[in-house]
Amino acid sequence: MAKFYATLTPALQAFIAEQQMFFVATAPHHGRVNLSPKGADTFRCLGDRAFAYLDLTGSGNETAAHVHENGRLTVMFCSFGPEPTILRLYGQAKVQRPQDPGWADLCSLFPPLPGARQIFRADLLEAQTSCGYGVPHYEWVAPRLRLQEWAERKGEAGLTAYRQQKTSGASTVCPPIPKGNA
């Protein structure tokens, strides 16, 4: 039932574009695995051998710590719709922060979301599909906006203070995408 791919084929990219959420997993050499759900239009395929996701300020920053340690990143998409499919992307990742070269180019691929703190960019090592027959069928209703509303209320100064207190991560909000580049 499982099938492996060396690239993100057009069919895999189309499947990714249809999903409303994904899961990110990382692990240090010693310690616990971190697994987090993501959404809010924050994932992009960068051709057929790379991908990126925009990371929003949350309760911690374990993903960045793990990626800094060993670069390993797994992303899983799981269809909750009528066609059961699971897609895992195994990648070697790097953290891009606002002060890093390439930030502006990568950030321009995403909508301007409050609370954006970093982008994880990964080279694809391998992709794997599996059946997903055991996954229930759910219907998507709408995105949750609480995280974005929280970030807007905090403002950039409040987010900076929060990150220093909780995660020691730098950040900025991605600037608006100029019209005609969307």
Q: How many domains does the chain have?
A: 1
Q: Is 175 within the bounds of a domain?
A: no
Q: Are 120 and 154 in contact (CB under 8 A)?
A: no
Q: Determine the residue type at 36.
A: S
Residue 176 lies in a domain: no
Give domain status of residue 173, yes or no: no
Is pLDDT larger for residue 156 or for residue 175?
A: 156
pLDDT value at position 58?
A: 84
What's the confidence (pLDDT) of residue 172?
46
**Residue 182 in domain:** no
**Mean pLDDT score of the chain:** 90
Buried b (16+ CB within 10 A) or exposed e, 102-137: ebeebbebbeebbbbbbbbbbebeebebbebeeeee
Mean pLDDT calculated for residue range 93-104: 95
Q: Flag whether 172 is in a domain.
A: no
For residue 170, give the amino acid letter: A
Confidence of residue 169 (pLDDT cuts 50, 70, 90): very low
Give the CATH number for residue 29: 2.30.110.10
Rounded Cα gap, residues 117 and 97, in angstroms: 7
| Domain ranges, residue 82 | 3-166
pLDDT of residue 181: 40
pTM for the full model? 0.86
CA separation, residue 175 to residues 10, 12, 70, 157 (Å): 29, 29, 30, 16
pLDDT surpassing 90 at residue 38: yes
pLDDT at position 104 over 50: yes
Residue 98's CB is within 10 A of a number of other CB atoms, namely: 16
> Considering the domain boundaries, does residue 148 fall inside one?
yes
Would residue 77 count as lying in a domain?
yes
